[in-house]
A = this chain, B = another copy of it.
Amino acid sequence: MADTKTTEVSANRSFGGWQKRFSHQSNVLNCQMHFSVYLPPAAELGEPLPVVYWLSGLTCTDENFVTKAGAQRVASELGLILVMPDTSPRGEDVPDADDKAYDLGLGAGFYVNATQAPWNKHYRMYDYIVDELPSLIQQRFNVQPKAAIAGHSMGGHGALMIALSNVKRFSSVSAFSPIVNPMDCPWGEKAFSHYLGEDTSQWQQYDSCELMRQQGQFLQLPMLIDQGLADDFYQNQKLAKPLELIAQETNYPAEFRYHEGYDHSYFFISSFIEDHLRFHAKHLSA
């Protein structure tokens, strides 16, 4: 059956599988979008494969992880499909920050459903990641129903927040250098006040610390978090640590690892992505 909703725009052989890029019209985001997919060699054998969604950070597109993380080697070995969405709606009709700031607007969707004008017409990344994209993936590829989700920085926030809000959809979650408490850090406060307005009670549903505090004892997912200690944003954006404190309070069995000398870059991600994919593969097959 021909799939009319997604168009393959590139395909590169990689570690015996295929690194592909697709475009499609997003009904949720009201614009043309791209996403990338790695298909391991096992995708040609006919059995449904597990999927790991990767959510990228500020300024990224669907391509940064694809070119820089070195994840295909491990996904090839483990038989994982990797799905990399973009980080915001795109296109000339989509509003951007007035000053083209890197931390608001294009490349900075923060994985929320905006309620405020002018953002609310396109910036509905939560629904895109939770509903529309998985539907497209299930329609186009032979995948298992449960997935894993991971991300970096703003995408670490997205992965944790989406997993904590949809615990039955995911078998595990992991993050590098995640924004865990967007209600109480400069990046999060800026984005949430623009996208969600000044009523902070509307922010809580998108704050991983709040979500874990509310649900921690009841709904638990395997969780792995890596944080570099030479990361310039570690202190001033309150990455990782606030969530660890709540995990301790709520006896949430998350593993937090802190790495001397590592920074916020893809050099950090590439050094430890293998651990994350092996972690997800174990829980996906459990």
Output the least CB separation between A257 and chain B (Å).
14
- A208 adjacent to chain B (CB < 8 Å): no
Is B267 a contact of A12 with CB atoms below 8 Å?
Answer: yes
Contact (Cβ within 8 A) B12 A265 = yes
Are B70 and A270 interface neighbours, CB within 8 A?
yes
Least distance between A111 CB and chain B CB atoms (Å)? 25
Q: Please report the total number of A residues contacting B with Cβ < 8 Å.
A: 23
CB atoms of B67 and A271 under 8 A apart: no
Q: A228 and B13: CB pair below 8 A?
A: yes
Query: Is there an interface contact between A73 and B270, defined as CB atoms closer than 8 Å?
Result: yes
CA distance A80 to B179 in the complex (A): 35
* B13 adjacent to A262 (CB under 8 Å): yes
Assembly CA distance A14 to B266 (angstroms):
9
Query: Given A67-B67, A68-B67, are A267 and B13 also a contact pair (CB < 8 Å)?
Result: yes
The answer to whether A245 has its CB under 8 Å from any CB of chain B is: no
Report if A46 contacts B (CB, 8 A): no
Looking at the assembled complex, report how far the CB atom of A278 sits from the nearest CB atom of chain B, in whole angstroms.
14
Residues of B within 8 A of A270 (CB): 14-15, 70, 72-73
Cβ B72 vs Cβ A14 within 8 A: no
Residues of B within 8 A of A267 (CB): 12-14, 19, 72
